[in-house]
Amino acid sequence: MDISQTISNTAIENQCESGVSAGGTSFSVAPMMEITDRYCRRFHRMLSSHGVLYSEMITAAAVVHGDRNYLLEFDTAELPVVLQLGGSDAGLMAESAAIGEQFGYSAVNINCGCPSDRVRNGRFGACLMAEPELVAECLIAMQASVSIPVTVKCRIGIDRDDSFEPFERFVRVVADAGCNKFIVHARKAWLDGLSPKENRTVPPLKYEYVDQIKSLYPDKQFILNGGLLSHEQAIANSRTIDGVMLGREVCSNPWMLNDVDHLYYGKAQNTRTRFEVVEACYPHIEKHLSQGTSLGKLMKPMLGLFHAQPGGRLWRRILSETMWLEGAGLHTVQRALDAVRQAAEDVQRATKPDIPGHGDAGNLPESRHSNG
């Protein structure tokens, strides 16, 4: 399989513009700080050719005033990729969106959902749910500066107000300004009293709010996010909306991306094994190691690849203990993979019934025992 395979620009634009797959429901991986960097996205693209990927949130000020190449460069094989921006200054947001388009991002997303103190103090993230007019101002300025879609990721509300009306008003004001796509984390955000981690689990999920808002604005796209732990659950809860977005579960079990193209985009089921995916990553790993990237950065997204598989804990332990060490390289990955392969063979040997006249070694692949 050609690991450099990319989706055509036309297909990318159409997919990001519509957000809807051939089957009617799109799939995307959530933007996550210190997780969905270029190395993570490159690995995720190895598992799904069509799912939409997101950058980490990057502040508009950092894009405009900081090291743009460091912040924004990515491999075109990652496409489609959406750049998520944080900010509330319409001028900076417009300028950073234009820069993102120049770097080749497929769309730009405004962060109106992050509840952290640092984000709130910068007047962006979930606190913007209380200022829909300001979000609308930013959106209008950004749309005027780019030709790619500008979308919004938000919560269903903030703090003590559990009612639907403030959420509906936020969507109405921003939609009237020209937003056609909302990614909704179906929990409110507590801006005081809960940590960002607690805000991902403590406020109750209200998927019905997303269904209700879609019924009021059927011409807009709504993507469901929050609390989705499997494809079965995601598909069951997205029958009336336009797509789903998963985050932490993909980090824990990235192999679930291997089913995305088949389940959401009507493509043939992937038949690759986890071992084949790791080996297909070798050229990518060698390339970045030669450029000075640490093995830890490259392999961190792959730690959960053998989740719930024989040798999965061994894979994670070997890499976690060695991938950040000086001198760690491709041989480190190969050692970990060999250990998993051996563990899988041990399980196969232990569970295979004895056949008279046949030893265990004779039932294993010949390539493992060809040297006696």
Active-site residue list:
114
Within the chain, residue ranges assigned H as helices are: 9-18, 38-47, 60-65, 68-72, 90-103, 117-121, 132-145, 165-176, 196-199, 207-216, 231-236, 248-252, 260-265, 274-280, 282-290, 295-299, 312-322, 330-351
Q: CB-side exposure of 200: number of CA atoms within 13 Å?
A: 14
Sheet holding 107-112, edge to edge: 26-29, 243-246, 221-225, 181-185, 150-154, 107-112, 81-86, 53-59
Residue 152 to residue 155: CA distance in whole angstroms? 10
Residue 239 to residue 24: CA distance in whole angstroms? 9
User: Phi-psi bin for 266: left (phi > 0), alpha (psi -120 to 50), beta?
Assistant: left
Give the residue from 111, 108, 143 showing the smallest Cα distance to 127: 111
372 bridge partner residues: none
243 bridge partner residues: 26, 223
Q: At what angle do helices 132-145 and 90-103 cross, to 10 degrees?
A: 40
**362, exposed or middle or buried, with CB in 10 Å at 0-12, 13-18, 19+?**
exposed
> Tokens standing for 344?
């899988």
> If DSSP codes are grouped into helix, strand and coil, which group holds residue 184?
strand
Kindly report the CA angle at 30 between 26 and 33, in degrees rounded to 5? 165
Interacting residues of 310 by C-beta distance below 8 A, sequence separation 6+: 340, 343, 344, 346, 347
84 bridge partner residues: 57, 109
Residue 258 to residue 274: CA distance in whole angstroms? 10
Residue 357 to residue 12: CA distance in whole angstroms? 57
